[in-house]
């Protein structure tokens, strides 16, 4: 860790023995600590103290770890604090519930202290990176190469430390999305919705369980390349100039470069989605003008998902549209968006799932 102010860890657990064990271990690593017995106490401390990382138990009275994490991640003052969820629950659904609540990492009891140390170090490194992005208005296009290496190095370290467990890949995906989430106008809710939209479409298309699983975790990475687009362009409220638009379109190739070279099946699919999710069935998309089946299926699915959620969401340059209007635009066209832009088979599946899309959007509103 860098020298200077001691990093501060908040330990949240209703059992005194567990708190004492984690506090002693954190202090042995050079961290300052605070403790809380439940989610309510944790929210109060995180809102008033300079907390760098939270170790969050799940099963607690008053407020459990899932709700506390969700509240922390919905508050702009605390959303950037990494939360490692420490749980005795070992089911896939419980782990995914933790990720859905916004947890940055997961750790199963009984605690492996070496694994805990690795996860604390990796999450603190990532927090330092996010703090840097928030506190310094530096043009990112001059540092794309450097930050790409940093992201790849972080990814490599995470894959090595978790190579024996499948969740290592899943945790990596959700950490990587934070880079674009805090840079772009898109939110954590958008990322959650993206996963569920693509999952429903893939199931409706009759894709294998493996494909459905991969696209669920890969789709949130679609705009990771926006870390390389200057704020002046990415957050511009008005219409982009032709030169600015050409720069904006490079987020596809930047995303491919960031994600390229991984052996993870999730990140391989994320790479193709990042590169091709703006391609259109009729060949009018970018960056390569691919047409029809030349476009990877995952990207064709992501294209209609991205269009739906973008139209439903408010942006600096547009208001949010109601569900019925968005469905009409996608299925009938409005001049700018046309049905010919989408794979006909996927468009048919979308028509059959419009109410499911509405439910997903309402369930995970910003």
- For residue 97, count other CB atoms closer than 10 A to its CB: 17
Q: What is the mean pLDDT of residues 63-67?
A: 93
**Of the given ranges (75-84, 142-151, 235-244, 317-326), which has the lowest mean pLDDT?**
142-151
**Of the given ranges (27-31, 173-177, 258-262, 362-366), which has the lowest mean pLDDT?**
173-177
Q: In the chain, what are the domains?
A: 1-114 (3.40.50.2300), 137-366 (1.10.3210.10)
Q: Is the pLDDT of residue 141 over 60?
A: no
- For residue 335, count other CB atoms closer than 10 A to its CB: 6
Handedness of CA 333, 337, 341, 344 (dihedral sign): negative
| Predicted local confidence at residue 108, as pLDDT | 85
- The encoded tokens of residue 236 equal 């511009």
Tens of pLDDT, residues 89-126 = 766 777 788 888 889 898 888 888 899 999 999 998 88
| Predicted local confidence at residue 175, as pLDDT | 64
Coil, helix or strand at residue 12: strand
- DSSP assignment of 323-334, as one string? HHHHHHHHHH--
45 vs 118: CA distance, rounded Å: 25
């Amino acid at each position: 860790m860098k020298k200077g102010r001691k990093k501060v860890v908040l330990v949240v657990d209703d059992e005194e023995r567990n708190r004492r064990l984690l506090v002693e271990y954190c202090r042995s690593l050079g961290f300052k600590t605070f403790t809380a017995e439940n989610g309510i106490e944790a929210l109060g401390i995180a809102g008033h103290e300079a907390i760098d990382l939270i170790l969050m138990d799940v099963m607690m009275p008053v407020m459990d770890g899932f709700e506390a994490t969700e509240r922390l991640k919905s508050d702009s003052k605390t959303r950037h604090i990494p939360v490692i969820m420490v749980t005795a629950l070992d089911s896939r659904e419980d782990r995914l519930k933790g990720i859905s609540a916004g947890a940055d990492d997961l750790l199963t009891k009984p605690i492996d202290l070496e694994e805990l140390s690795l996860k604390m170090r990796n999450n603190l490194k990532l927090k330092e990176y996010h703090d840097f992005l928030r506190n310094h208005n530096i043009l990112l296009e001059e540092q794309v190469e450097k930050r790409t290496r940093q992201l790849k190095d972080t990814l490599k370290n995470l894959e090595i430390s978790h190579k024996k467990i499948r969740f290592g890949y899943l945790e990596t995906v959700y950490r990587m999305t934070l880079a674009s989430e805090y840079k772009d106008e898109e939110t954590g809710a958008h990322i959650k919705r993206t996963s569920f939209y693509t999952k429903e479409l893939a199931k409706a298309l009759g894709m294998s369980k493996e494909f459905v699983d991969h696209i669920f975790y890969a789709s949130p990475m679609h705009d990771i390349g926006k870390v390389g687009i200057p704020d002046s362009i990415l957050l511009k409220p008005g219409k982009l100039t032709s030169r600015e638009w050409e720069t904006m379109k490079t987020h596809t190739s930047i995303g491919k470069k960031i994600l390229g070279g991984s052996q993870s099946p999730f990140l391989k699919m994320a790479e193709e989605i990042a590169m091709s999710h703006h391609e259109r069935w009729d060949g009018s998309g970018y960056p390569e003008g691919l047409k029809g089946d030349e476009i990877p299926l995952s990207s064709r699915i992501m294209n209609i998902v991205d269009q739906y959620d973008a139209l439903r969401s408010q942006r600096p340059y547009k208001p949010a549209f109601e569900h019925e209007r968005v469905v009409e635009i996608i299925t009938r066209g409005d001049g700018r968006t046309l049905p010919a832009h989408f794979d006909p088979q996927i468009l048919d599946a979308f028509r059959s799932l419009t109410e499911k899309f509405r439910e997903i959007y309402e369930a995970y509103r910003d």
